[in-house]
A and B are shown apart, each in its own frame.
Chain A
Amino acid sequence: MDAVSAAPALGAVAEERNATWDGALVAFDSVARSYSSILFSRSRGVGLLLGAATLTSPRIFAFGLGAVVWANLVARLLRLDARALADGQFGYNALLVGLGTAATFTGNMPTIPVLALAVVGAVLLTAAFRASLGASGLPSLSLPFLAVYYLLLSASPLTHLAYGAYAIDPWPGDYGAFTSLAPALLPEPIPLFLRSLGSLFFVPRVDAGLLVLAALVLHSRIAALLAGAAFGAVLLLDQHVLSLPEGAMLHVLGYNTMLTAIALGSVWFVPSRSALGLALVGVLLCVMVTVGSMAPLARVGVPPMILPFNVTAILMLYAMRQRTSDGAPKASFSLADSPEALVAEHRSRTARFFALHPLRFRLPFRGTWICTQGNDGQHTHRDAWRHGLDFEVRGRDGELFSGAGAEARDFHAYGLPVVAAADGVVAKVVDGIPDNAIGRMDLVHNWGNVVVLYHAPGLYSVVAHLKPSSIKVKEGQSVRAGEALAACGTSGRSPTPHLHFQLQATAIVGAPTLPVHFHHVVVTRENGENREAREVVRELCPAQGDALRAIEPDSGIADLLHVPLGAAWTFESDGRRETVRSDVGLLGELHLRSVERPADLTFEEGDSLLVVLDVAGRRTSALQLLCAAMPRAPFDAALPTWTDVLPRQRFRAWPLRLLADLVALFGERAGIEVRYSMRREGAGLVIVGESIERRSRRSPRDDHPLLSTRLEVERGVGPTAIEVTYAGVTRRATRILSFDSSSRRSPS
């Protein structure tokens, strides 16, 4: 058999091996994540560290691991949601049941068969809780564990389960040699803090606590900080407000409040000062719940365990969901891998897509106009109308009119089309008011001829002073953004032809104004030597004197940057191959997904630009490079420049990242602002980016941008080469065209 024919056979074997390997990896992940889920993490490393923490008590470890493996098996046999299973969602409650059983009951018989049954119960309850609570968007946390565990406790007299030392006195004085030495080495209250962390996993030992702390720090410095703050608060309360019985109580308060703080301050809300405040309120409430539930629970014969955290956190989350506006703290909007990632994602979203209103407005005209009166303008834009905007047109000589300027017709703006600023429905039309002679005003009909469009509840746009009989739309008619409505005129309070635009909350002509932002505005500036510099501004409220236009899409550029559905592009970077494929998501959103690595880029391709909404997953994926090199691209024929913001964290080496995370809570520098430009090169297009921030501010010799990018796109082929340089280190991804010849488009 020659080498050529052998190759496919070998490939098939390799593929088979890969499949088994993948299966094993999924199984391993679902176990590791059962551990890490307890700290709201999805990381394998965190899971391993937590597993190691339980190993400080071998019996507890064995019961815990056994419970997880059994639970995952059961979930699989029952064909429960495979994705949740792989994420450890069915394992972590079972893990707690296993750990708790080992810590509570002695002997192996009949403890093990009872545990096996309890685990099945935990899995079923998890599925049930996930469905019922999940329907109202709430997490089930460790409620399934509590239900099963309390049941075990109450049933124990009838099941011949024998209580161990832990159940009678969960925190006996002697923890073995290490723990008894520890207080000498570590000043209180650190051992107390560590034991409290350890008792989350039913091993109230300092060494176990240290491993849990390591896992927590590895997962998130923000979460670790919140845990520390929560514990500190409990100690303060203990010293100054409460009078708690010695021993156990502080541990229970410790882990309940720590989890409450982490959940509220960094998981369900974007970490920030306000989220920290919310977390502290949660801590106080959790202390009240714990202390208050002690006596009632004792009467039933069960310890509070992790119940106070479950109750407090879920109720607070539910209450916060009832807010009418999602401000500070901002509710979490994604399943980010860590609080740090969540902060970064939130920052990047606000920097890139900050939106005043739930929809994007374009400029209400075509071509370049000048803003001649901005917000709080000197003439009429005051008080209730302070957010009004006036626009006019300037000729090449800088004048607003040609000839004598004695007639409306002489003005460049007069008769130009006025268009819809966003999709909407015509709410009101006023016509029939004559244009004024130049210099005259009609103070009776202030707004002149008007079209009011409805866009969203409480959001209307108004174009006023229109030319009589030029209105092309009727009330009730729906219009699309950019559609011509009427012609610019000089009716109403208008001494010279101009367009007045405003947003308002009702359809009433003359209603008070709302603030206006336009999206993707091309701003033109004179650049000396008769050259004009154009920049696409992501979001802008025009100021007096600004020369503005909407993006004027060029089909040539749009074609070059078009991502055909089903395209499969193979890149090579750092000697590794990676294929990314385009597809449509459930909500109609567009994706580029990596076949080999967990990486997913979501994007939007409109009429006038392409925007990468986000990229998630492996930092080594070519998709990360693609996003850095082209986070958005306008299809404008004039090839304007534009800026975008990239999250700093995506480029840092990990030790620096860890450090930076700590300060992230208290306001870190914004992301890296990168200025992009585009040029045609041969049959293709090149997009280059340079961060505004320089690499070193100290030595001018080293005056390079901190980040620079380059993307080459070829006609009919898509991106062919990507290059991203951060702090002097360059990463490249190069297309291997021979690999995707089947998916190439025909030349267009």
Chain B
Amino acid sequence: MKTPYERPAIVRHAMGMMNKLGRALAQRPMTHIDGVAIEDLVARYGSPLFVFSERTLVERYRELHDAFSRRWPKLRIAWSYKTNYLSGVCKTFHQEGAWAEVVSPFEWEKAVHLGVAPDHVHWNGPFKPEEALERALVAGTMVHIDHFDELASIERIAARRGIRPKVAIRINLTTDTVQGWSRFGFNLESGQARDAALRIVAGDRMELVGLHCHLGTFIQEADAYRQAARKLALFANELRATHGTRITFIDLGGGFASQNALKAQYLPSEQATPPFSRYAEAIADGLSAIDAPPSELPTLVLETGRALVDEAGHLITSVIANKRLPDGRRGLVVDAGVNVLFTSFWYRHDVVPTRELRGMPEPTVIYGPLCMNIDEIRETMQLPPLSVGDRLVLRNVGAYNVTQWMQFITYRPAVVMVGSNGKHALLRRAEALEDVIALEEVPAWMP
């Protein structure tokens, strides 16, 4: 067999680069996803290609469920639609028992369309148009109130429709390590949350049953959750003592870190990202401040997004060209850009070749196919030389990409799922011209 041609280059020797216990381990080639050859998938569905592993989705879900249900008696996982609302992905989680967490009328409609009972939906977000809100409240959707104007609008709806909906309020708070997103919901420390609860109780048009708090995303400090859970538990005790309000659920939102790595992150994620059990321990410990007999303990609701789906998603991309940059680094042009891999702005994705690569690794930057300077999907990493047509797999890309991607310059690629049964099928076909022009109109006065 002929050895493939390697372009000659002079590379500075770096110590430790080949340490087989360190980063180099990840560079073992990935030829299959759950038993299906990557080359077969590309031959069938094209490149670039998103591939989701059904097995990983289910395993992660069950891991999350197990970790929490062993520590807290009542648990509900609501799948965060914005993280990935492909029907096949949502259905996988719903089959496992997940409710839906939505943040817009579109997501609400999509969940109901997928067969989720409207009363198995939690609705977050700062903008809930009144008609959509009315439809959801009548159908029993659990609305997490974000601000006083929304509260007023629910009071109007309740009066108009003669209903007394069960509702939750979204709360923002601070912990020692994480400054929670303070623009959403009512602030706890300033007493705003207390005012909101009082207004609900005094208005008597709805029943306050839930407290919600989403600290942020990719939070690697489990302890932040302990503090948030404890603050909510104490707040629930206070509500019970002052108004007799029984809080039936406490929702800690999402935010658990996945195996991905932030660009600024120093430690590798295997070390920096806590397992679900660590988050669970912290949250159960925080919640144990609740003052209630076992049968009246509130249900713990989780809206974990990223940590459930990131690991299951892979992006297969093909090398289009090799370049040498003026600073001596190698540049690699691939067929997937930031338009499909939106998260590459913040995350240092794991890149794995699909064959054993020979040759000396050298600093390499991976660029997408767009004619834009920002189209860099992976900052400098050590990679041996690659040839045109070689595939690379970007791992842990299941979260936020197939929702935040955009049709820009290129068509969006296909998304497939590899089933636990070894079969594979489309979750979304690749876009074509018809899809893009289907929504367009040409003004009639134009010839």
Contacts and interface: CB of A to CB of B under 8 A. Distances in A.
Nearest to B96: A638
A529 B421 contact: yes
Interface stretch (A7-15, A103-111, A376-384, A479-487): A479-487
A323 to B, nearest CB: 36
B286 interface: no
A366 B69 contact: yes
Contact of B55 (A395, A530, A549): A530
Interface stretch (A223-231, A245-253, A411-419): A411-419
B191 interface: no
Interface string A519-548: 000000000011110000000000000000
A415 B72 CA distance: 13
Contacts of B166: 748
Interface of B: 54-55, 58-59, 62-63, 66, 68-76, 96-97, 99, 115, 117-120, 138-140, 162-166, 207, 248-249, 275, 277, 281, 284, 288, 293-295, 299, 419-421
Between A481, A532, A747, the greatest number of chain B beta carbons within 10 A of the residue's beta carbon is seen for: A747
A552 B73 contact: yes
Given A366-B69, A366-B70, A680-B120, A554 B139 contact: no
A530 B420 contact: yes
B140 A483 contact: no
Interface of A: 365-369, 393, 395-396, 402, 412, 415-417, 419, 480-484, 529-532, 549-550, 552-556, 559, 607, 637-639, 680, 682-684, 715-716, 746-748
Contacts of A639: 97
A396 to B, nearest CB: 5
9 contacts: A367-B69, A481-B294, A482-B295, A529-B419, A549-B69, A552-B74, A556-B99, A680-B120, A683-B139
Given A480-B294, A554-B299, A637-B76, 12 more contacts: A365-B70, A368-B66, A416-B71, A482-B295, A529-B419, A552-B69, A555-B299, A556-B99, A556-B117, A715-B117, A715-B119, A748-B166
A554 B62 CA distance: 17
A265 to B, nearest CB: 44
A553 B294 contact: no
Given A637-B97, A682-B117, A683-B139, A393 B420 contact: no
Between B140, B164, B275, B281, the greatest number of chain A beta carbons within 10 A of the residue's beta carbon is seen for: B140
A366 B164 CA distance: 34
B140 A415 contact: no
Given A416-B70, A529-B421, A683 B118 contact: yes
B294 A483 contact: yes
B179 to A, nearest CB: 30
Contacts of A549: 69
B108 to A, nearest CB: 14
A554 B76 contact: yes
Contacts of A680: 115, 117, 120
A683 B71 contact: no
B24 to A, nearest CB: 21
Contact of A367 (B59, B66, B117, B281): B66
Contacts of B68: 367
B282 to A, nearest CB: 12
B140 A683 contact: yes
Contacts of A368: 66, 69-70
Nearest to B73: A366
B69 A483 contact: no
A680 B72 CA distance: 25
A104 to B, nearest CB: 66
A194 B277 CA distance: 78
B165 to A, nearest CB: 7
Nearest to B248: A555
Contacts of B96: 638
A556 B74 contact: no
Nearest to B249: A555
Contacts of A748: 140, 164-166, 207
A412 B280 CA distance: 12
A480 B295 contact: yes
A529 B420 contact: yes
Contact of B165 (A559, A607, A715, A747): A747
A506 to B, nearest CB: 26
Contacts of B275: 402
A396 B69 contact: no
Contacts of A393: 70
A395 B75 CA distance: 19
B72 A366 contact: yes
B63 A396 contact: yes
A442 to B, nearest CB: 25
B209 to A, nearest CB: 9
B12 to A, nearest CB: 36
A554 B72 CA distance: 13
B117 A396 contact: no
A531 to B, nearest CB: 8
Contacts of A555: 74, 248-249, 299
A365 B295 CA distance: 15
B70 A367 contact: yes
A297 to B, nearest CB: 63
A552 B138 contact: no
A155 B281 CA distance: 88
B117 A530 contact: no
Given A417-B284, A607-B295, A366 B420 contact: no
A417 B55 contact: no
Nearest to B142: A556
B119 A683 contact: yes
A367 B120 contact: no
Nearest to B288: A484
Q: What 7 A-B pairs come out closest when comparing CB atoms?
A: A367-B70, A530-B420, A482-B294, A367-B69, A607-B295, A483-B294, A529-B421
B293 A415 contact: no
B71 A417 contact: yes
A559 B117 CA distance: 13
Contacts of B76: 554, 637
